[in-house]
Amino acid sequence: MYNVTESLKEINQLITEFFQSFDNRRGCICSFDDFKSRFVEGAKIGNRTSEALNIWSLSEFWTPREELLSGGGLCNFHEWETKSNTSIIKGLASRESFYEKDGVFDNSPYKGTGVKFFQLALTPDGWRISHLIWEDYQ
């Protein structure tokens, strides 16, 4: 049976795990299979900048980030959600997620903030991300 309280709890955990995918502070990062398990098949990820709107498949998105996080260019990095708004209607959900990030990029401090918009669906395996788009503020 559908339960909004349990759904919100599961979505909160899913989004926390999503952000943890990019945490390399202890020298390890999430595998692509773990990252992919948070999404539905065919999910897309997008990023809007002042110059372009980029849309990637999960593997197109993950490959360069895995290299960056494991190759030594971006160290002691993590992102975390600072505020969110979640709307759940039956088996669909939308989450507005404000976040901060912190690390060391090419031996210089690297900090920023932004917003991510998640579209989620309740599947037989639980809540999963179907689409994600974000924009960095700084």
pLDDT, tens digit only, all 138 positions of the chain: 568 999 999 999 999 999 999 999 988 888 999 999 999 999 999 999 999 999 999 999 999 999 999 988 899 999 999 999 999 999 999 999 999 999 999 999 999 999 999 999 999 999 999 999 999 997
- Per-residue model confidence (pLDDT) at position 2: 66
d(CA 8, CA 114): 22
- Per-residue model confidence (pLDDT) at position 124: 96
Report residue 80: phi and psi, to 5°: -150, 150
Report residue 28: phi and psi, to 5°: -135, 155
d(CA 11, CA 130): 13
d(CA 90, CA 41): 20
Query: Which CATH number fits the domain that encloses residue 57?
Result: 3.10.450.50
Which among 21, 57, 13, 39 is positioned nearest to 125, based on CA atoms?
39
- Per-residue model confidence (pLDDT) at position 1: 54
pTM of the model: 0.94
Count how many domains the chain has.
1
| Full residue range of the structural domain in which residue 30 is found | 4-136
3-state class (DSSP) for residue 66: helix
Residue type, 49: T
